[in-house]
Structure 1
Amino acid sequence: MSTVTVDLIAAARPNFMKVAPLYHALIREPWCNVRLVHTGQHYDKNMSDTFFTDFNLPKPHLHLNVGSGTHAEQTAGVMLAYEKVCLEAPPDRIIVVGDVNSTMACTLVGVKLGIHVAHLEAGLRSRDRSMPEEINRLVTDSIADMLWTPSPDADENLKAEGVPESRIEFVGNIMIDSFELLREKIETDTTRQSLGLDHAAYGIVTLHRPSNVDNPQTLQMLVNELIAVSERVPLVFPVHPRTRGRLVAAGLLAELECHAAVTLLEPLGYIQFMNLVVGASVVITDSGGIQEETTYLGIPCLTLRENTERPITVTHGTNRLLRPSQLRTAVDTLPSTPRVDAVPPQFWDGHTADRVVQSLRRLVAEGGASTS
């Protein structure tokens, strides 16, 4: 088999975690030349560069330096920059992950240039088109050549949309690979100890979605609920830059700062964050990936959203969907008995990257290096 150049696209915090296990699996393959492409969609050090260090990733081979902006500005910026790369030095294959603007943008570039594109974490659906991520998922999955799915419900979603089964392959959840890749470092990290939480009950909070933080009235309700919850269980809140800006603008940051039972932190690296998660009694979030990790670990997760693109975390896991006004009641009704060992969904086993490599090797052998 001749050498195949594969571009791995990373753009935002969850992407870095998802490409890391696959990068390390691919570089062991003699037929594969991997290029790590950082679009620069997130550029805050704690939200991007730290993850390359945590996961022992090299400096990106290509950095598009797109930066922030509106959805249109980011999408257009990534398309213009990545098309230039692909015209000057085209890869044979492109692998995109997740559901950020860069995922859709690089898929569009690749497909239009006749380059094989595979989407890792395909088929997830929230059925809520007001979420920008849902649009990115729909567009990406409708045109990508290969769709690697994390769960059986994702396969069913794609089939219902008319996607041929030949383009769908169930490989499992790459986020679990990421956790297992760093499990030893997570367990020996001292973040929990430094905060005096080694033998304490506490909850973790992560919030950033516009539906929760952009409206001052909703944000005020959330702050009130978090303060009330902190009287039941102390809370640790690594504050996303977007959320911090909204809290400051609404005059609410000081309300949280003055409560001793609420500990506000800057954004954390993956190792430090997961060190807190593995010891937590509950996670309060509006994010996506943490719904999966808590399901894998058997930790109660309260997700402040009306829907989730990861329903398996509700039907087979520890996740519950809530409105902000339901938060303190939900905390009050958490089980008081110790959690039992989790039984994760199928293929949430730390070997998804290996299955992806096997799939890619087979695709290359069957279909050549490119569709161009």
Structure 2
Amino acid sequence: MKITIIAGARPNFMKIAPIIDAIINAANSGAKISYRLVHTGQHYDKKMSHDFFKQLGIPEPHANLEAGGGTQAEQTANIMVRFEKELQENPADLVLVVGDVTSTMACAIVAKKMHTQLAHVEAGIRSGDITMPEEVNRMVTDAITDYFYTTSDVANKNLEASGVTGDRIVFVGNTMIDTLLKQTPRFIRPAIWQDASLKPQQYFVLTLHRPANVDQEQQLKVLLDEIVSSVDGLPVIFPVHPRTAAILDQIGVSAPNLHMIEPLSYLEFNYLVKNAKAVVTDSGGITEETTVMGVPCMTLRDNTERPETCTIGTNELLGTDPKAVKPAMAKLFSGNWKKGSIPELWDGKAAERIVNHLINLN
């Protein structure tokens, strides 16, 4: 069984690392399985890519398509053209895509048009918000996938509702949590810990990148003002996405307790998350990590494709109205934030289940 694994952007790397480990372990034990790692180059600056590969122990990609950025259409087209050539030159029995980035959808389409079996890790999750590029990527990918590896019963039900038969749905758990649990002992204290004199549970971590929160300058300014004024003077550590940095430069937001820093490596960022009083974010993946680490999480979105982080975990949806921040902070400081628990099969063994299934397809 020859597997081509696709990685394109930072969220993918945490998901493929344990799968590659599991394939190598299975092959070393005599299983007839091998992999070829293709990096599309959707993200390829040092912080977004190279450092992640090194920290997570991911072997160097067999190929880098160097597709680069551009508009949604340009990026999708570049990836498709280059991956088609890659797959022609290096045929696979199955192409495995993860998550919901542009590379996921683009390579899925190419694989199916070249009559190659397709598996989707993190299949079936839905936000219900078709204005999100990621939602389009998920829907298109799942419309043509052969094998669906899911993280939750909600995802299973979403797929069943769309007509996918149960024999193609494999509930495996969450490979991103495989990586988190493996790497927790290796977390690195970042420089900002000393620079801002941080103490455990006495600061907040903030991440923002979605258009609804960062594209409108006034909305972003009001949101940041609301956050920094609602945290009882505690430090707010804000690793700034490059896209957001340009907007922040224009509006000139500042506060004594707001620390805007460069993006952090995986091991540094999760050190901060693990020791934070709470996380304020508009990211989906971070809500999964906070749930497993038992850290309160406030999500500045109207919807989520990971509802189990709210119904089971430590996450709450606040919406995009800045006025929702103060009541949520009051709830946190009063000690009334829910404790949460860990969803089923988020146990560090998802990748093993995926590879066992792949081996049995032979």
**Deviation of the 1:120 alpha carbon:** 0.2
- Cα distance in 1 for partners of 2:22, 2:204 equals 34
**Deviation of the 1:29 alpha carbon:** 2.1
Match for residue 357 of structure 2?
A: 359
- Cα distance in 1 for partners of 2:113, 2:62 equals 23
Q: Which residue type is aligned with residue 341 of structure 2?
A: V
Match for residue 273 of structure 1?
A: 269
Match for residue 299 of structure 1?
A: 295
Instruction: Tell me which moved more, 79-88 or 197-206.
Output: 197-206
Summarize deviations over 1:277-314 as a string: whole Å, max 9, x none. 00001100000101111111111110000000001111
Query: How many residue pairs get matched?
Result: 355
- Cα distance in 1 for partners of 2:294, 2:44 equals 32
Quickly say closer, same or farther: Cα 1:270–1:132, change in 2 above 3 A.
same
Q: Does 1:18 align with 2:3?
A: no
Match for residue 90 of structure 2?
A: 89
Match for residue 348 of structure 2?
A: 350
Which consecutive unaligned segments of at least 5 residues does structure 1 have?
A: 366-372
Summarize deviations over 1:106-164 as a string: whole Å, max 9, x none. 00011111111100000000001000100000000010110100000000000011111
TM-score (norm 1): 0.91
Q: Does 1:29 align with 2:30?
A: no
Match for residue 194 of structure 2?
A: 194
> After superposition, where does 1:43-192 map in structure 2 within 5 Å?
43-186=44-187, 189=189, 191=191
Q: Which residue type is aligned with residue 213 of structure 1?
A: V
Q: Secondary structure at the match of 1:29?
A: helix
1:297–1:342 contact (8 Å) kept in structure 2: no
Aligned with residue 283 of structure 2, among 273, 284, 287: 287
**Deviation of the 1:231 alpha carbon:** 4.1
Instruction: Tell me which moved more, 349-358 or 43-52.
Output: 43-52
- Cα distance in 2 for partners of 1:157, 1:191 equals 43
Instruction: Tell me which moved more, 142-151 or 219-228.
Output: 219-228
Match for residue 312 of structure 1?
A: 308
Quickly say closer, same or farther: Cα 1:20–1:198, change in 2 above 3 A.
same
**Deviation of the 1:221 alpha carbon:** 1.6
**Deviation of the 1:211 alpha carbon:** 1.0
- Cα distance in 2 for partners of 1:87, 1:191 equals 46
Q: Which residue type is aligned with residue 243 of structure 1?
A: T
What is the alpha-carbon root mean square deviation over aligned residues? 1.7
- Cα distance in 1 for partners of 2:214, 2:286 equals 18
Summarize deviations over 1:81-105 as a string: whole Å, max 9, x none. 0000111111221110000010000
Q: Secondary structure at the match of 2:84?
A: helix
Q: Secondary structure at the match of 2:177?
A: helix
- Cα distance in 2 for partners of 1:230, 1:46 equals 29
Aligned with residue 6 of structure 2, among 5, 9, 13: 9
**Deviation of the 1:180 alpha carbon:** 1.1
1:107–1:140 contact (8 Å) kept in structure 2: yes
Percent of aligned pairs with the same amino acid? 47
1:120–1:148 contact (8 Å) kept in structure 2: yes
- Cα distance in 2 for partners of 1:130, 1:320 equals 21
2:221–2:253 contact (8 Å) kept in structure 1: no
- Cα distance in 2 for partners of 1:157, 1:114 equals 25
Summarize deviations over 1:179-204 as a string: whole Å, max 9, x none. 01211101x64557434223451100
Q: Secondary structure at the match of 1:23?
A: helix
Q: Secondary structure at the match of 1:99?
A: coil
Q: Which residue type is aligned with residue 194 of structure 1?
A: Q
2:111–2:117 contact (8 Å) kept in structure 1: yes
- Cα distance in 1 for partners of 2:332, 2:294 equals 13
- Cα distance in 1 for partners of 2:190, 2:44 equals 26
Match for residue 241 of structure 1?
A: 242
**Deviation of the 1:22 alpha carbon:** 0.7
**Deviation of the 1:229 alpha carbon:** 2.8
**Deviation of the 1:209 alpha carbon:** 0.5
- Cα distance in 2 for partners of 1:87, 1:264 equals 45
- Cα distance in 2 for partners of 1:38, 1:176 equals 21
**Deviation of the 1:12 alpha carbon:** 0.8
- Cα distance in 2 for partners of 1:7, 1:353 equals 15
1:230–1:262 contact (8 Å) kept in structure 2: no
Quickly say closer, same or farther: Cα 1:192–1:358, change in 2 above 3 A.
farther
1:237–1:264 contact (8 Å) kept in structure 2: yes
**Deviation of the 1:329 alpha carbon:** 2.2
1:148–1:171 contact (8 Å) kept in structure 2: yes
Quickly say closer, same or farther: Cα 1:299–1:219, change in 2 above 3 A.
same
- Cα distance in 1 for partners of 2:337, 2:314 equals 10
**Deviation of the 1:219 alpha carbon:** 1.2
